Every structure is written in structure tokens, then in C-alpha cells.
Amino acid sequence: MSSIRHITVPVPSRKVGQQSVVGLTAAPMETVRIGIVGLGIRGLQAVKRLQHIPGAQVSALCDVNAASLEAARAETPQAWAGTDWKELCAQPCVDLVYICTDWQHHVPVALEAMDHGKHVAVEVPAAGTLEDIWALVDKAEQTRLHCMMLENSVYDHFERVALAMAQEGVFGEIVHAEGAYLHKLDFGKEVWRREYNRGHRGDVYPTHGIGPVCQALGIHRTDALQTLVSLDTAAFTGRAITGDAAFANGDQTNTLLKTAQGKTILIEHNVMTPRPYSRMYQLVGTQGYAAKYPVPQICLWQDGEEVIYEGEQLKALMAPYDTAGLPEELLPAVQEVDAKHEGMDLLMDYRLIQALREGRPLDMDVYDLAEWCALAPLSLLSIENGGAPVEFPQFVRE
């Protein structure tokens, strides 16, 4: 019998005295004072959103771009403002550093913030290399501070309510799940993302796809990611639009994962070719099925038959499970600041701030961040080895 070589990556041991932060809580705080680094599209949106959230106060602002800094200052003139993120991380008026820069700055700012005793919320993807991911896990464990990735797709209505249904057992045992980021980017405008894709192969933007399905499968709670294999296409589009024969990111990257409980996950990435936006989001269970794209659908096995719910019937089916939404008082703010994302960003911020105010564990911990981000370097490793299986490192180290 032939055996296939599995690639393993090192799991660094914990330093003496360093402990797991699963279920981490911090002392409650009446007001959460927030310093935002990176005030481009996402950062400015966050400044506007956070002003609606009870107990949140934007207390510091930082961007190297003068126009971006000014636009944010116009929203919150009383906040400290500067161009040096190290200075922002040192400000006594900051409890939480909220990072909305380009990808390269996420990790250095997050580490500096925790070194100064601040909790961290960092945009997606928080980190792109295993070294950086371990640095964030280790720093969170050493400082016992929250380090949460701002993965908003888990708060989108369908994913959130389907998760509640899955946790109630409506779909039976979930045996397979799918997620994706399928969205042609405008590389004429999104220059730093184009350049990142030029230099990096693999699923470089995995967290919107993998986050919600990991939650539904209880990853590092009741199950664990065990092995992955990845294959990509050639970089047909990247090479054509840049004229660069060395453009790295393939048009489509496909990753299959197996869990310790024997379940599978399919994750896709395609920011190159024209196709309708999709995060796929499918849950395949022994008693039912949920899919968000292209048309939201749930299929349940009822009295020996498949019953398909769509449209108004689907709404009625999901309504009783929709219990973790925004409080009534924040609903007008959805239209004002968050209509494009239908309130999911507002709900993400609301739940983060409320958990900090009440001293509760956050919805997502640093191990979620680690597992979801690790898909990028691990998919690359598999691709570069002809689609070889890669053992998924256990970031919880238990």
C-alpha cells in the first residue's frame, strides 16, 4: 500500500507561564475608548458606525494620509489625532486599538497595541504568514488581552441565523460545508490588493469564506481542522491585466479541508474573473441543507421528503432563530451608516463593545483568527507541493 506524504509545520511550544486564552474575559469597562489606525474606506466607516454604539467612544485617530485623517477628524473633532501608529498605541486614552490599514500593517500595529496593554480588533485578514499568526497568538496569551479579527460575514443575517439553526440541530449533523470569496476586484482602484495578489499565490483572502463555516462546525470547540489540500489555476487574468508573467495569484484557488470528526469543507477564492459576488456559504447536514448563494435556500428532510424553503417561506422558517440581532434603538443607524452591509458591521461592533463592557468572552477569539488566516499560508504550501496534504497546526495547543 502506498502512503502519501503529509506536510507538517512546526507548532512552537508555549513559553513558561503562558496560558491558553480560550474563554478569555477582561475586567468590565463602562466606556470602551477606541483608537482607530487606518482611516481609508473601512476605517472611516468604522468611525461613523462606532458613534452609534452605546458605550463606545472613538478617542484616537491615526492615518499617514492627511486627507483621510482630516475626514475622520471631521466626524470626531475631540479625538487625539496623529500619523504615527506607535504613538496611538501608547495613548492612555485608548482601551481598544481598531486596525483598518492595508494588510502589511495589521500585525505590527496589533503587537504594539498589546505591548501597551490594549485590546485589539483587526480587519481581515489579520495576518498572512504562520509566523505572524503565531506572533499574535503568543502575544494574546502572554498579555491576556483580546485579539479579535473583524470578520463581519459571520454577522450577516443568513449566516448568523443559519448558525443558530445548526446549533439547534435543525440540519442534523453537519457533514460538509462550503465557503468562498468570489468577487472580481477593480484592480485599477484597489492597487495595494492588486500588488499583494501579484506577489502572493494561494487563498490570500480566506476569512469571509471559512469563518462562518468553522463556527457552524464548532472548530476548536467540538471539532478541529486536521488536513487540507489546495490547487489553483494559472494566473490568466493577473498576467493579462498587468503584463507581468510572474503574477502569482491564480484566477481560482480551491482548498479542501478535513476535520478531526470526519467532515469536509470546501473553500474557494477568485477575485479575477467576472461572476456574481458569492461567499457560497453552504451547510450540508444529515437532516437538511442551507445555502446563501445564488438564492438563499433551506432544504429540510421532513416526513420522508425534501422540503425546500425560499422567499417568504424561508423568512418565516428562519424568523424564530433570529435572536441575536441589533437592538431596536440601533436599527435607524443601519440605514444611515451600514446599509451596504445590511447591518452586519454594526452588529459586529455592537457585540464587540457590549462584550468588553460586560467583561464577557468575545464571539471570536485569537484562535479563530489564527485558524481562518492560516488558510492563506497553508494553501500556498499545498499548492507549491503539487496539492500535497498539509497537516493543520493546532493553534489551541491542547
Q: Please report, as ranges, the residues that interact with ligand NAD according to CB under 6 A.
A: 37-43, 62-65, 68, 85, 100-103, 105, 123-124, 152
Residue 108 or 172: the one with the smaller Cβ distance to ligand NAD is 108
Residue 61 or 174: the one with the smaller Cβ distance to ligand NAD is 61
Distance CA 268, CA 208 (A): 11
Q: How far is the CB of 173 from ligand NAD (least distance, A)?
A: 30
Q: Is 111 in contact with 131 (CB distance < 8 Å)?
A: no
Which element (helix H / strand E) includes 261? Answer: none
Q: How far is the CB of 358 from ligand NAD (least distance, A)?
A: 24
Distance CA 90, CA 92 (A): 6
Distance CA 337, CA 94 (A): 23
CA-to-CA separations, 15 to 9, 31, 396, in angstroms, rounded: 18, 33, 14
Q: How far is the CB of 102 from ligand NAD (least distance, A)?
A: 5
Q: How far is the CB of 163 from ligand NAD (least distance, A)?
A: 18
Distance CA 167, CA 205 (A): 26
| First and final C-alpha spacing in the chain | 32
Residue 32 or 154: the one with the smaller Cβ distance to ligand NAD is 154
Residue 124 or 217: the one with the smaller Cβ distance to ligand NAD is 124
Q: How far is the CB of 308 from ligand NAD (least distance, A)?
A: 30
Q: How far is the CB of 93 from ligand NAD (least distance, A)?
A: 18
Q: Which residue, chain included where needed, has cell 479625538?
A: 79
DSSP codes of every residue in 52-103: TSTTEEEEEEE-SSHHHHHHHHHH-TTSEEES-HHHHHH-TT-SEEEE-S-H
Q: Residue 91 corresponds to which amino acid?
A: Q
Q: How far is the CB of 41 from ligand NAD (least distance, A)?
A: 4
Residue 103 or 281: the one with the smaller Cβ distance to ligand NAD is 103
Residue 141 or 151: the one with the smaller Cβ distance to ligand NAD is 151
Q: How far is the CB of 65 from ligand NAD (least distance, A)?
A: 4
Residue 8 or 65: the one with the smaller Cβ distance to ligand NAD is 65
Residue 212 or 285: the one with the smaller Cβ distance to ligand NAD is 212
Residue 41 or 240: the one with the smaller Cβ distance to ligand NAD is 41
Distance CA 371, CA 392 (A): 9
Q: Is 40 in contact with 46 (CB distance < 8 Å)?
A: no
Q: How far is the CB of 205 from ligand NAD (least distance, A)?
A: 7
Closest CA to 147 of 211, 96, 102: 96
Residue 8 or 83: the one with the smaller Cβ distance to ligand NAD is 83
Q: Which residue, chain included where needed, has cell 481581515?
A: 124
145 Cβ neighbours under 8 A, 6+ residues apart: 26, 114, 117, 118, 119, 120, 139
Nearest-CB residue to ligand NAD?
Answer: 40
CA-to-CA separations, 382 to 128, 225, 249, 345, 379, in angstroms, rounded: 15, 15, 14, 33, 5
The dihedral built from the CA positions of residue 274, 277, 283 and 284, taken in this order, carries a sign that is negative
- The residues that bridge with 306 in the sheet, in sequence order, are 301
Q: How far is the CB of 297 from ligand NAD (least distance, A)?
A: 24
